Amino acid sequence: MKKNYKKYELEFYGDIYKVIPFKSRYFNNNTLAVILMTDKGEDFADITVNIEFTQANDTMAYIDTNNNKWVEKFLQDNKIAKPTGEYGFSGFCSYPLYEFDLTKLEEFEEN
């Protein structure tokens, strides 16, 4: 990683990782997508899900609590995002809608 990004500590299965949240957009509906990467530039987790029929706007995204049980605590503890109280549904899963502080997200740039 070339830039001096803000790093957040995340405990995951007993190990501490330094991660950086990046914002992007889903191609089909242009809604907010958020990806965590390690400070070494490796993918860590896609923390949002793309729901076609959405209430999300430019600052909101559905959080993937199905695959990332730890993500809500991480986002709230670091004041990166807060819950709206709304949910989106896909298949048999429900996903909480969060509003992000965009100043805490880095721009995702393809190399």
Span 52-86, pLDDT tens digits: 877 778 899 999 999 999 999 999 999 999 999 99
C-alpha distances in Å from residue 64, one per residue of 4, 5, 47:
27, 23, 5
Strand blocks (E) in 1-111: 8-12, 15-25, 32-38, 43-46, 48-49, 60-63, 81-90, 93-100, 106-107
* Residue reference for tokens 């190399």: 111
The model's pTM is 0.90
Label the pairing between strands 60-63 and 93-100: antiparallel
What percentage of the chain carries pLDDT values higher than 90? Answer: 75
Domain boundaries, the chain: 8-106
Task: Give the mean pLDDT of the chain.
Answer: 91
